[in-house]
Structure 1
């Protein structure tokens, strides 16, 4: 049996390739687009795709395919948009576009191999798309962030939300049956909140999901913070880590005792240092 290569356009089935341009995003010396994609997909799907200085990369009505380098000759398809408007050069984002819904199931899931032998970042699809071979169709949106171990968890709000909402199997499995004492740190003012995940509270997975949903997880002081500063404050400044973790068989009373010990250690009931209210 002969294994025939699957080209990118075998999936996309775009007929008018003369009206399509491909943007190849790579490490720019400061930021790696694959890291940014995992934190904020809109950043690479708008600012990176539609950024320009003097040269005009797209015309209104054209289709823009966005690829970001994962490593070597492997790229990830992140979006396909039709360009709807050209903006002024004073903006960082110089075009507007609407995502083509029929391709949405492929976004963040199609890895292609392509050896680039030119320096420009935007190329007409007719020139290169038939050289792009599908190397893998992922079951879920790409991530290179496997669960690092309980002692190494330290995530921003957006990183934790991504880990939970995109159903990264390693993260879900690691958190769903674990009791824990955890720490939330406000990076803006240095204050901390010590919390616990027990069987009564739905274990660590459900406890952290509650913070992703509303920013406060039911805590009085955090509720007040969200009411006064807004949910966006939490999304910008909060960081989540695990102080101690225990398997599901450990009695809840031990977890609560350890939670109290950490509250005393951080003095987190003191409004000067923390958000704990009991």
Structure 2
């Protein structure tokens, strides 16, 4: 379609079409380079995304009914992470009662920021369910680094609309380093992440789980499972511990939500059937020795 862009796409949704006519759409792009793991949190926790968007240092939303929230991607691109209907300004105490506020303040504390921000304006935002099918799928060309992080321009080129459930491109086994939330989304959506499903199902190997809060590590392996690493990692996606005693005890102690602090990486991989169980266990034991995960980590043996 000629001149098909963000404006054209939004015009097919009644709420957005009305906002276009009323000139009441505002686009914002979050780019939190120095906040470790925060972009991932914004993508997978829409309550925190709403809270983070709802507080501002100046009044940038009062004249705007529909707020489209993007997360920065390389090359001047931006991924639509959420969209909110703006019901106007609210007091700080009402803002602090919003779902997701406690998690947001906990995160701020974890990176040594004041738990309470210095924002002066707070908005009553509600998720725009009409646009949910585009969340975490629509990628636009935001523009260069000098382009304002908030603006009204909607005549932006669409770079890509990702498959439903897409999380990330498989980077190669030696660059795998994903959060528990990313792993869970990949496992739940194999059709949207076929490169991940294909590789993990076809390989056994040795992996590492890192608790980013305590620094403790768990080294494990997949050997001979029916679905290779995919089968083993499905257990961690489901409950965070997959039956491992020390991981389970950690989650009981700190709460089930603590699994969001886990990251998963691969350290030795073998095509299924290309190595014996003895070979895989050798490299698993070797990595445990290198990292000291028996003495200082989460390996009991």
Q: 1:51-130 residue pairs with structure 2 within 5 A?
A: 51-58=55-62, 62-71=65-74, 74-84=77-87, 86-88=89-91, 94-113=122-141, 121-124=149-152, 128-129=153-154
Once residues 277 and 32 of structure 2 are traced to their aligned partners in structure 1, the CA distance between those partners, rounded to angstroms, is 49
Q: 1:36 to 1:207 in 2, by over 3 A?
A: same
Query: Structure 1 runs of 4+ off > 6 angstroms?
Result: 116-119
Q: 1:71 to 1:24 in 2, by over 3 A?
A: farther
SS at match of 2:236: helix
Q: For residue 102 of structure 1, report the CA deviation from its aligned partner.
A: 2.0
Q: For residue 111 of structure 1, report the CA deviation from its aligned partner.
A: 2.7
Q: For residue 138 of structure 1, report the CA deviation from its aligned partner.
A: 2.3
Q: For residue 178 of structure 1, report the CA deviation from its aligned partner.
A: 0.8
SS at match of 1:66: strand
Once residues 71 and 267 of structure 1 are traced to their aligned partners in structure 2, the CA distance between those partners, rounded to angstroms, is 36
Once residues 246 and 169 of structure 1 are traced to their aligned partners in structure 2, the CA distance between those partners, rounded to angstroms, is 19
Once residues 76 and 288 of structure 2 are traced to their aligned partners in structure 1, the CA distance between those partners, rounded to angstroms, is 49
Q: TM-score, normalised by structure 1?
A: 0.77
SS at match of 1:81: strand
Aligned match of 1:207 in 232, 235, 242? 232
Once residues 70 and 125 of structure 2 are traced to their aligned partners in structure 1, the CA distance between those partners, rounded to angstroms, is 16
Rg: which structure is higher?
1
Q: Give CA-to-partner distance per residue, 1:192-247, whole Å, 9 cap, x none.
A: 222110223741112112112111111122222222222222322x3322221111
Once residues 264 and 119 of structure 1 are traced to their aligned partners in structure 2, the CA distance between those partners, rounded to angstroms, is 49
Structure 2 gap ranges (5+): 12-16, 93-115
Are the aligned partners of 1:85 and 1:96 in contact in 2 as well (CA < 8 Å)?
yes
Q: 1:15 to 1:190 in 2, by over 3 A?
A: closer
In structure 2, what is the equivalent of residue 5 of structure 1? Answer: 3
Q: For residue 74 of structure 1, report the CA deviation from its aligned partner.
A: 3.9
SS at match of 1:15: helix
Q: For residue 248 of structure 1, report the CA deviation from its aligned partner.
A: 0.4
Structure 1 gap ranges (5+): none
Once residues 238 and 173 of structure 2 are traced to their aligned partners in structure 1, the CA distance between those partners, rounded to angstroms, is 22
In structure 2, what is the equivalent of residue 151 of structure 1? Answer: 174
Q: For residue 56 of structure 1, report the CA deviation from its aligned partner.
A: 4.4
